[in-house]
A and B are shown apart, each in its own frame.
Chain A
Amino acid sequence: MIDMKQFKDNVSSKIKAHHEPEKPEFHEKETHAVSVKTNAMAIGASIHIKGDVTGNEDLVIQGHVEGTINLKGHNVTISNSAKVKANIEANQIIVEGELTGDMNGDEKVVIRATGHAYGNIVAPRVTLEDGAMFKGSIEMEPRQGRVAGDTRPGNITQNKESTDLKVAP
Protein backbone atom coordinates (compact mmCIF):
# COMPACT_ATOMS: atom_id res chain seq x y z
CA MET A 1 0.00 0.00 0.00
CA ILE A 2 1.38 3.36 -1.00
CA ASP A 3 0.28 6.31 1.05
CA MET A 4 0.48 9.47 -1.00
CA LYS A 5 1.61 11.65 1.92
CA GLN A 6 4.71 9.50 2.37
CA PHE A 7 5.21 9.23 -1.32
CA LYS A 8 5.02 13.00 -1.65
CA ASP A 9 8.31 13.45 0.19
CA ASN A 10 10.09 11.19 -2.27
CA VAL A 11 8.96 13.07 -5.32
CA SER A 12 9.09 16.56 -3.93
CA SER A 13 10.86 17.96 -6.96
CA LYS A 14 7.96 16.89 -9.16
CA ILE A 15 5.47 18.35 -6.76
CA LYS A 16 7.25 21.71 -6.73
CA ALA A 17 7.06 21.84 -10.46
CA HIS A 18 3.28 21.60 -10.25
CA HIS A 19 3.01 24.21 -7.53
CA GLU A 20 4.84 26.89 -9.46
CA PRO A 21 2.19 29.31 -10.66
CA GLU A 22 4.07 30.33 -13.81
CA LYS A 23 3.91 26.77 -15.16
CA PRO A 24 1.09 26.92 -17.70
CA GLU A 25 0.27 23.20 -17.89
CA PHE A 26 -2.71 23.07 -15.55
CA HIS A 27 -3.98 26.53 -16.47
CA GLU A 28 -4.37 25.24 -19.99
CA LYS A 29 -6.53 22.44 -18.69
CA GLU A 30 -9.00 24.99 -17.32
CA THR A 31 -10.23 25.59 -20.84
CA HIS A 32 -11.68 22.09 -20.78
CA ALA A 33 -15.02 21.22 -19.25
CA VAL A 34 -13.30 19.63 -16.27
CA SER A 35 -10.83 21.75 -14.36
CA VAL A 36 -7.87 20.22 -12.60
CA LYS A 37 -6.71 21.72 -9.36
CA THR A 38 -3.29 23.27 -9.66
CA ASN A 39 -2.14 21.83 -6.35
CA ALA A 40 -2.60 18.24 -7.43
CA MET A 41 -0.07 15.68 -6.32
CA ALA A 42 2.01 14.36 -9.25
CA ILE A 43 3.67 11.10 -10.09
CA GLY A 44 6.43 12.13 -12.45
CA ALA A 45 7.14 10.71 -15.88
CA SER A 46 10.11 8.65 -14.73
CA ILE A 47 8.34 7.11 -11.75
CA HIS A 48 7.11 3.49 -11.83
CA ILE A 49 4.76 2.37 -9.09
CA LYS A 50 3.47 -1.13 -8.41
CA GLY A 51 0.92 -1.32 -5.64
CA ASP A 52 -2.08 0.45 -4.21
CA VAL A 53 -2.29 4.22 -4.27
CA THR A 54 -4.58 5.91 -1.75
CA GLY A 55 -4.86 9.46 -0.47
CA ASN A 56 -6.92 12.58 0.13
CA GLU A 57 -5.90 14.92 -2.65
CA ASP A 58 -6.02 15.18 -6.40
CA LEU A 59 -3.47 13.19 -8.36
CA VAL A 60 -1.81 13.70 -11.73
CA ILE A 61 -0.02 10.66 -13.12
CA GLN A 62 2.70 11.22 -15.69
CA GLY A 63 4.58 7.96 -15.14
CA HIS A 64 3.67 4.30 -14.84
CA VAL A 65 1.34 2.86 -12.23
CA GLU A 66 0.25 -0.76 -11.82
CA GLY A 67 -2.19 -1.77 -9.10
CA THR A 68 -5.15 0.16 -7.73
CA ILE A 69 -5.82 3.86 -7.25
CA ASN A 70 -8.35 4.86 -4.63
CA LEU A 71 -8.88 8.60 -4.26
CA LYS A 72 -12.53 8.84 -3.28
CA GLY A 73 -13.76 12.42 -3.49
CA HIS A 74 -10.72 13.59 -5.46
CA ASN A 75 -9.69 13.79 -9.09
CA VAL A 76 -7.26 11.61 -10.98
CA THR A 77 -5.65 12.77 -14.23
CA ILE A 78 -3.70 10.35 -16.37
CA SER A 79 -1.44 12.57 -18.45
CA ASN A 80 -0.31 12.07 -22.03
CA SER A 81 2.88 10.34 -21.06
CA ALA A 82 1.31 8.05 -18.46
CA LYS A 83 0.71 4.32 -18.72
CA VAL A 84 -1.56 2.99 -16.05
CA LYS A 85 -2.79 -0.53 -15.40
CA ALA A 86 -5.07 -0.07 -12.46
CA ASN A 87 -8.64 0.04 -11.32
CA ILE A 88 -9.42 3.62 -10.30
CA GLU A 89 -11.96 5.01 -7.86
CA ALA A 90 -12.19 8.79 -7.77
CA ASN A 91 -14.52 11.74 -8.13
CA GLN A 92 -13.43 12.70 -11.66
CA ILE A 93 -11.16 10.57 -13.79
CA ILE A 94 -9.51 12.24 -16.78
CA VAL A 95 -7.62 10.07 -19.24
CA GLU A 96 -5.14 11.76 -21.56
CA GLY A 97 -2.68 8.87 -21.74
CA GLU A 98 -3.12 5.10 -21.66
CA LEU A 99 -5.22 3.30 -19.10
CA THR A 100 -6.10 -0.35 -18.78
CA GLY A 101 -8.47 -0.97 -15.91
CA ASP A 102 -11.88 -0.19 -14.54
CA MET A 103 -12.91 3.38 -13.78
CA ASN A 104 -15.38 4.24 -11.06
CA GLY A 105 -16.07 7.96 -11.20
CA ASP A 106 -18.47 9.49 -8.68
CA GLU A 107 -18.95 12.57 -10.84
CA LYS A 108 -17.63 11.86 -14.33
CA VAL A 109 -15.08 10.17 -16.52
CA VAL A 110 -13.47 12.07 -19.38
CA ILE A 111 -11.39 10.44 -22.09
CA ARG A 112 -9.57 13.16 -23.96
CA ALA A 113 -8.62 13.08 -27.63
CA THR A 114 -5.20 11.63 -26.83
CA GLY A 115 -6.59 9.11 -24.35
CA HIS A 116 -6.72 5.35 -24.79
CA ALA A 117 -8.82 3.56 -22.21
CA TYR A 118 -9.62 -0.14 -21.99
CA GLY A 119 -11.90 -1.24 -19.21
CA ASN A 120 -15.28 -0.72 -17.65
CA ILE A 121 -16.62 2.64 -16.60
CA VAL A 122 -19.17 3.26 -13.88
CA ALA A 123 -20.04 6.96 -13.75
CA PRO A 124 -23.09 9.21 -14.08
CA ARG A 125 -21.44 11.16 -16.92
CA VAL A 126 -18.95 10.02 -19.52
CA THR A 127 -17.28 12.21 -22.15
CA LEU A 128 -15.32 10.88 -25.10
CA GLU A 129 -13.50 13.65 -26.89
CA ASP A 130 -12.99 13.64 -30.63
CA GLY A 131 -10.42 10.96 -31.43
CA ALA A 132 -10.54 9.33 -28.02
CA MET A 133 -10.19 5.57 -27.92
CA PHE A 134 -12.32 3.47 -25.61
CA LYS A 135 -13.09 -0.22 -25.44
CA GLY A 136 -15.13 -1.68 -22.64
CA SER A 137 -18.45 -1.05 -20.99
CA ILE A 138 -20.14 2.01 -19.53
CA GLU A 139 -22.66 1.76 -16.75
CA MET A 140 -24.80 4.83 -16.27
CA GLU A 141 -27.75 5.88 -14.20
CA PRO A 142 -30.10 8.42 -15.76
CA ARG A 143 -29.23 12.05 -15.15
CA GLN A 144 -31.52 13.98 -12.82
CA GLY A 145 -32.51 16.62 -15.37
CA ARG A 146 -30.90 17.91 -18.49
CA VAL A 147 -27.58 19.69 -18.42
CA ALA A 148 -27.18 22.88 -20.43
CA GLY A 149 -26.42 22.17 -24.05
CA ASP A 150 -27.72 18.63 -23.93
CA THR A 151 -29.32 18.22 -27.31
CA ARG A 152 -30.54 14.69 -26.88
CA PRO A 153 -34.21 14.59 -27.79
CA GLY A 154 -36.59 13.24 -25.21
CA ASN A 155 -38.48 11.25 -27.78
CA ILE A 156 -37.00 10.77 -31.19
CA THR A 157 -39.51 10.82 -34.00
CA GLN A 158 -38.82 9.67 -37.47
CA ASN A 159 -41.64 8.89 -39.81
CA LYS A 160 -40.19 9.39 -43.26
CA GLU A 161 -39.61 6.01 -44.75
CA SER A 162 -36.88 5.50 -47.29
CA THR A 163 -35.86 9.13 -47.28
CA ASP A 164 -32.17 9.24 -46.54
CA LEU A 165 -30.78 12.68 -46.06
CA LYS A 166 -27.44 13.65 -47.50
CA VAL A 167 -25.79 16.28 -45.37
CA ALA A 168 -24.37 19.12 -47.39
CA PRO A 169 -20.60 19.45 -47.06
Chain B
Amino acid sequence: MYDASYSYIPLTRVDQQVSQDTGFAINSPILFDLLNSLSKEAHHEILDICPASQGVIDLFSGYSCKLYLPGCVKELCEITSDEYDTASKLYRAFTRRLGFYKKQKASLNVIFLWDLPNYLDKQVMKGLIDYLSNHMHEQVKLHFYIHSQQHMPASPGSYSILPEGKVWLENSSDTTVKSPLYFQEALLSLFHPFKVKRSMLLSSGLKEYILEL
Protein backbone atom coordinates (compact mmCIF):
# COMPACT_ATOMS: atom_id res chain seq x y z
CA MET B 1 0.00 0.00 0.00
CA TYR B 2 1.19 3.50 -0.70
CA ASP B 3 1.08 6.70 1.23
CA ALA B 4 -1.21 9.19 -0.46
CA SER B 5 0.17 12.28 1.26
CA TYR B 6 2.44 13.85 -1.31
CA SER B 7 2.27 16.22 -4.20
CA TYR B 8 2.69 15.12 -7.77
CA ILE B 9 3.97 16.43 -11.04
CA PRO B 10 1.61 15.79 -13.94
CA LEU B 11 4.16 14.41 -16.35
CA THR B 12 2.03 12.68 -18.87
CA ARG B 13 1.43 15.84 -20.84
CA VAL B 14 4.90 15.48 -22.34
CA ASP B 15 3.70 12.41 -24.14
CA GLN B 16 1.24 14.53 -26.01
CA GLN B 17 4.15 16.54 -27.40
CA VAL B 18 3.03 19.75 -25.73
CA SER B 19 5.85 22.19 -26.18
CA GLN B 20 6.78 24.22 -23.16
CA ASP B 21 9.48 26.72 -22.39
CA THR B 22 10.58 24.60 -19.45
CA GLY B 23 11.07 21.42 -21.40
CA PHE B 24 13.02 20.12 -24.36
CA ALA B 25 13.80 16.86 -26.04
CA ILE B 26 17.28 15.41 -25.89
CA ASN B 27 18.94 12.59 -27.70
CA SER B 28 20.10 9.92 -25.32
CA PRO B 29 22.08 7.39 -27.37
CA ILE B 30 23.14 5.14 -24.53
CA LEU B 31 19.59 4.89 -23.19
CA PHE B 32 18.21 3.85 -26.56
CA ASP B 33 21.02 1.36 -27.12
CA LEU B 34 20.04 -0.14 -23.78
CA LEU B 35 16.36 -0.24 -24.72
CA ASN B 36 17.12 -1.83 -28.07
CA SER B 37 19.25 -4.48 -26.38
CA LEU B 38 16.33 -5.72 -24.28
CA SER B 39 15.06 -9.07 -25.49
CA LYS B 40 11.36 -9.28 -26.34
CA GLU B 41 11.32 -12.90 -25.23
CA ALA B 42 12.78 -12.44 -21.76
CA HIS B 43 10.92 -11.04 -18.77
CA HIS B 44 12.22 -7.72 -17.48
CA GLU B 45 11.86 -5.93 -14.17
CA ILE B 46 12.36 -2.21 -14.55
CA LEU B 47 12.55 0.53 -11.97
CA ASP B 48 11.85 4.10 -13.10
CA ILE B 49 12.02 6.52 -10.21
CA CYS B 50 10.36 9.36 -12.11
CA PRO B 51 6.59 9.86 -11.84
CA ALA B 52 4.66 7.42 -14.00
CA SER B 53 4.21 8.52 -17.60
CA GLN B 54 2.33 7.05 -20.53
CA GLY B 55 5.50 7.22 -22.65
CA VAL B 56 7.31 4.73 -20.46
CA ILE B 57 4.25 2.48 -20.20
CA ASP B 58 3.78 2.47 -23.98
CA LEU B 59 7.44 1.81 -24.55
CA PHE B 60 7.46 -1.28 -22.38
CA SER B 61 4.04 -2.56 -23.42
CA GLY B 62 5.81 -4.55 -26.15
CA TYR B 63 7.82 -6.46 -23.57
CA SER B 64 6.97 -9.01 -20.97
CA CYS B 65 7.85 -6.89 -17.98
CA LYS B 66 7.08 -5.54 -14.58
CA LEU B 67 7.50 -1.78 -14.28
CA TYR B 68 8.07 -0.32 -10.85
CA LEU B 69 6.97 3.32 -10.77
CA PRO B 70 7.35 4.62 -7.22
CA GLY B 71 7.45 8.27 -8.35
CA CYS B 72 9.56 9.15 -5.36
CA VAL B 73 12.25 11.53 -6.64
CA LYS B 74 11.15 14.40 -4.41
CA GLU B 75 10.85 12.18 -1.37
CA LEU B 76 14.29 10.64 -1.94
CA CYS B 77 15.84 14.10 -2.18
CA GLU B 78 14.43 14.93 1.24
CA ILE B 79 16.46 12.15 2.88
CA THR B 80 19.55 13.46 4.60
CA SER B 81 22.35 11.47 6.18
CA ASP B 82 22.04 13.66 9.31
CA GLU B 83 18.48 12.61 9.93
CA TYR B 84 18.86 9.04 8.68
CA ASP B 85 22.22 8.38 10.25
CA THR B 86 22.12 4.59 10.53
CA ALA B 87 21.84 1.85 7.94
CA SER B 88 18.56 0.64 9.41
CA LYS B 89 16.99 4.12 9.35
CA LEU B 90 18.03 4.51 5.73
CA TYR B 91 16.69 1.05 4.91
CA ARG B 92 13.29 1.94 6.38
CA ALA B 93 13.28 5.27 4.55
CA PHE B 94 13.97 3.61 1.21
CA THR B 95 11.43 0.88 1.85
CA ARG B 96 8.76 3.48 2.59
CA ARG B 97 9.53 5.43 -0.57
CA LEU B 98 10.36 2.68 -3.04
CA GLY B 99 7.97 0.06 -1.78
CA PHE B 100 10.28 -2.95 -2.05
CA TYR B 101 9.79 -5.18 0.93
CA LYS B 102 11.76 -8.33 1.63
CA LYS B 103 8.68 -10.43 1.01
CA GLN B 104 8.15 -8.71 -2.36
CA LYS B 105 11.67 -9.19 -3.58
CA ALA B 106 12.23 -7.78 -7.04
CA SER B 107 14.88 -8.81 -9.53
CA LEU B 108 15.54 -5.54 -11.31
CA ASN B 109 17.46 -5.72 -14.57
CA VAL B 110 17.04 -2.07 -15.61
CA ILE B 111 17.11 0.92 -13.28
CA PHE B 112 16.47 4.48 -14.47
CA LEU B 113 17.76 7.04 -11.99
CA TRP B 114 17.74 9.96 -14.47
CA ASP B 115 19.55 12.89 -12.78
CA LEU B 116 18.82 11.87 -9.18
CA PRO B 117 22.47 11.04 -8.30
CA ASN B 118 23.34 14.75 -8.63
CA TYR B 119 20.92 15.64 -5.85
CA LEU B 120 21.40 12.93 -3.26
CA ASP B 121 23.66 13.23 -0.30
CA LYS B 122 26.67 10.91 -0.93
CA GLN B 123 25.85 8.66 2.01
CA VAL B 124 22.23 8.48 0.92
CA MET B 125 23.27 7.61 -2.63
CA LYS B 126 25.52 4.81 -1.35
CA GLY B 127 22.68 3.64 0.89
CA LEU B 128 20.29 3.63 -2.06
CA ILE B 129 22.62 1.43 -4.11
CA ASP B 130 23.04 -0.86 -1.10
CA TYR B 131 19.29 -1.03 -0.69
CA LEU B 132 18.62 -1.69 -4.35
CA SER B 133 21.33 -4.36 -4.48
CA ASN B 134 18.91 -6.59 -2.53
CA HIS B 135 16.53 -6.35 -5.46
CA MET B 136 18.83 -6.47 -8.47
CA HIS B 137 19.34 -9.10 -11.11
CA GLU B 138 23.01 -10.01 -11.64
CA GLN B 139 22.88 -8.47 -15.14
CA VAL B 140 21.30 -5.24 -13.98
CA LYS B 141 21.94 -2.03 -15.95
CA LEU B 142 21.89 1.28 -14.15
CA HIS B 143 21.22 4.40 -16.23
CA PHE B 144 21.57 8.03 -15.13
CA TYR B 145 22.77 11.50 -16.09
CA ILE B 146 25.42 13.58 -14.34
CA HIS B 147 25.54 17.35 -14.73
CA SER B 148 28.94 18.33 -16.11
CA GLN B 149 28.49 22.11 -15.86
CA GLN B 150 29.21 24.23 -12.79
CA HIS B 151 25.53 24.82 -12.05
CA MET B 152 22.44 22.67 -12.40
CA PRO B 153 18.71 23.18 -11.74
CA ALA B 154 17.91 23.32 -8.03
CA SER B 155 15.83 20.16 -8.14
CA PRO B 156 15.79 17.03 -10.31
CA GLY B 157 14.18 17.32 -13.72
CA SER B 158 11.29 15.26 -14.95
CA TYR B 159 12.12 12.79 -17.68
CA SER B 160 9.95 10.82 -20.03
CA ILE B 161 10.77 8.65 -23.00
CA LEU B 162 9.17 9.95 -26.18
CA PRO B 163 7.86 7.61 -28.86
CA GLU B 164 10.16 8.91 -31.59
CA GLY B 165 13.29 7.92 -29.73
CA LYS B 166 14.09 10.96 -27.64
CA VAL B 167 13.91 11.85 -23.98
CA TRP B 168 11.78 14.75 -22.81
CA LEU B 169 13.49 16.71 -20.08
CA GLU B 170 11.45 19.18 -18.09
CA ASN B 171 13.32 21.34 -15.63
CA SER B 172 11.35 21.66 -12.45
CA SER B 173 13.17 24.74 -11.20
CA ASP B 174 14.34 28.05 -12.68
CA THR B 175 16.92 28.53 -9.95
CA THR B 176 20.25 26.79 -10.05
CA VAL B 177 22.63 25.32 -7.51
CA LYS B 178 26.24 24.25 -7.68
CA SER B 179 26.68 20.85 -9.33
CA PRO B 180 28.55 18.14 -7.44
CA LEU B 181 30.60 17.68 -10.67
CA TYR B 182 31.20 14.01 -10.13
CA PHE B 183 34.07 12.55 -12.05
CA GLN B 184 34.16 8.90 -12.89
CA GLU B 185 36.30 7.83 -9.95
CA ALA B 186 34.06 9.57 -7.42
CA LEU B 187 31.01 8.12 -9.12
CA LEU B 188 32.31 4.60 -8.91
CA SER B 189 32.85 4.96 -5.19
CA LEU B 190 29.19 5.99 -4.86
CA PHE B 191 28.01 3.17 -7.07
CA HIS B 192 30.25 0.42 -5.73
CA PRO B 193 30.39 -2.40 -6.95
CA PHE B 194 29.18 -1.13 -10.35
CA LYS B 195 31.49 -0.50 -13.29
CA VAL B 196 31.01 1.95 -16.13
CA LYS B 197 29.81 0.18 -19.25
CA ARG B 198 29.42 3.31 -21.39
CA SER B 199 29.40 7.05 -20.88
CA MET B 200 28.85 9.96 -23.21
CA LEU B 201 28.83 13.73 -22.92
CA LEU B 202 25.67 15.23 -24.40
CA SER B 203 25.53 18.76 -25.75
CA SER B 204 22.98 19.68 -23.08
CA GLY B 205 25.80 19.40 -20.55
CA LEU B 206 24.54 16.12 -19.17
CA LYS B 207 26.89 13.19 -19.09
CA GLU B 208 25.06 9.98 -19.72
CA TYR B 209 26.16 6.80 -17.95
CA ILE B 210 25.26 3.20 -17.97
CA LEU B 211 26.75 1.00 -15.27
CA GLU B 212 26.74 -2.74 -14.80
CA LEU B 213 28.02 -5.19 -12.23
| Chain A hits for B175, CB < 8 A | none
A100-B2 CB under 8 A given contacts A130-B13, A164-B202:
yes
Partner of B1, one of A100, A139, A168: A100
- The answer, yes or no, to whether B64 is at the interface (CB within 8 Å) is yes
Q: Report B-chain residues with C-beta under 8 Å of the C-beta of A98.
A: 4
List of B residues within 8 angstroms of A126 by Cβ: 57, 61
- Give the chain A neighbours of B24 by CB distance below 8 A: 164-167
Instruction: Tell whether, in the assembled complex, residue A118 and residue B1 are in contact, meaning their CB atoms are under 8 Å apart.
Output: yes
Q: How close is A134's CB to chain B, nearest CB, in angstroms?
A: 4
**Given A131-B10, A164-B24: A116 and B4 interface contact (C-beta under 8 Å):** yes
Stretch touching chain A among B27-35, B115-123, B182-190: B27-35
Residues 114-160 of B at the A interface (beta carbon under 8 Å): none
Assembly CA distance A157 to B165 (angstroms): 7
- CB pair B201 A162 closer than 8 Å: yes
Nearest CB to that of B21 among chain A residues? A169
Q: Digit string of A125-139 for contact with B (CB within 8 Å is 1, else 0)?
A: 111111111111111
- Tell me which residues across on chain A come within 8 A of B16, comparing CB atoms: 130
Cβ A143 vs Cβ B27 within 8 A: no
Tell me the complex Cα distance, A128–B59, Å.
13
B8, closest chain A residue (CB): A133
For chain A, the count of residues having a C-beta within 8 Å of the partner chain is: 46
A132 nearest CB across to chain B (Å): 6
Whether, in the assembled complex, A142 has its beta carbon less than 8 Å from a beta carbon of chain B, the answer is yes
With an 8 Å Cβ cutoff, the count of chain B residues facing the other chain is 55
Query: CB distance B63 to A160 under 8 Å?
Result: no
B99 within 8 A of A: yes
Q: What residues on A are CB-neighbors of B32 within 8 Å?
A: 156-158
B12 at the interface (CB under 8 A from A): yes
Residues in B with CB closer than 8 Å to A20 are: none
Partner of A119, one of B1, B53, B71: B1
Establish whether residues A156 and B36, one from each chain, have CB atoms under 8 Å apart when the complex forms. Answer: yes
Tell me, yes or no, whether B58 is within 8 Å of chain A by CB: yes
Cβ-neighbour of B53 out of A128, A152, A160 (below 8 A): A128
Q: Are B1 and A137 in contact (CB under 8 A)?
A: no
User: A132-B12, A168-B19 in contact; A140/B63 too (CB < 8 A)?
Assistant: yes
B180 lies within 8 A of chain A by Cβ: no
In the complex, what residues of B have CB within 8 A of residue A24's CB? none
Q: Nearest chain-B residue to A166 (Cβ)? A: B24
A161/B65 in contact, CB under 8 A: no
Q: List 16 A-B contacts (CB under 8 A).
A: A85-B1, A127-B57, A128-B52, A132-B12, A134-B71, A136-B69, A138-B69, A142-B40, A153-B163, A155-B36, A158-B28, A161-B202, A162-B201, A163-B27, A164-B203, A166-B24
Knowing that A126-B57, A161-B29, A164-B26 touch, tell me 7 more A-B residue pairs with CB under 8 angstroms.
A119-B1, A131-B10, A140-B65, A142-B64, A152-B62, A164-B25, A169-B20
Closest 3 CB pairs of A and B: A118-B2, A156-B165, A131-B10
